[in-house]
């Protein structure tokens, strides 16, 4: 259970992380944005593992399990989207004369 001093601290860290993320993304040149973001989306795999652990915790309540399932769903979408964007981006660099050997 959260006490009165923990919740404001967690909220402060959340707002600070949002501000830092926006500032960092604004500094990335547009040519590098897609490759960096698609590659870093794989980090969402860590979120999937953490959410799986949280959802399987023995003493978790319904809210914690529901949030863990939502985290798993959103992180999975992020990982799959990152790989699809990376594959599409790398496909732009293939020469036109070669046939694609993938099924």
Cα separation, 35 vs 82, in Å, equals 9
Tokens of 64: 């914690």
DSSP state of 10: H
- Residue 22 main-chain phi, psi, to 5 deg: -65, -45
pLDDT at position 8, please?
84
Cα separation, 32 vs 36, in Å, equals 6
pLDDT at position 66, please?
85
List the chain pLDDT tens, one digit each, 103 residues. Answer: 567 788 888 889 989 989 998 888 788 777 776 667 666 676 778 888 888 887 777 776 888 888 888 988 988 888 888 788 778 877 887 777 655 556 5
pTM above 0.75, yes or no: no
For residue 35, give Cα distances in angstroms to 2, 81, 88.
39, 12, 10
């Amino acid at each position: 259970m959260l006490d009165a001093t923990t919740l404001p601290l967690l909220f402060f860290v959340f707002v600070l992380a949002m501000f830092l993320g926006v500032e960092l993304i604004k500094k990335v040149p547009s040519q590098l944005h897609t490759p960096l973001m698609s590659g870093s989306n794989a980090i969402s795999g860590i979120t999937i593992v953490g959410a799986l652990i949280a959802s399987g915790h023995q003493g978790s309540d319904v809210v914690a399990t529901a949030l863990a399932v939502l985290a798993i769903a959103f992180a999975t979408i992020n990982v799959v989207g990152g790989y699809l964007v990376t594959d599409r981006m790398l496909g732009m660099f293939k020469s036109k004369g070669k046939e694609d050997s993938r099924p």
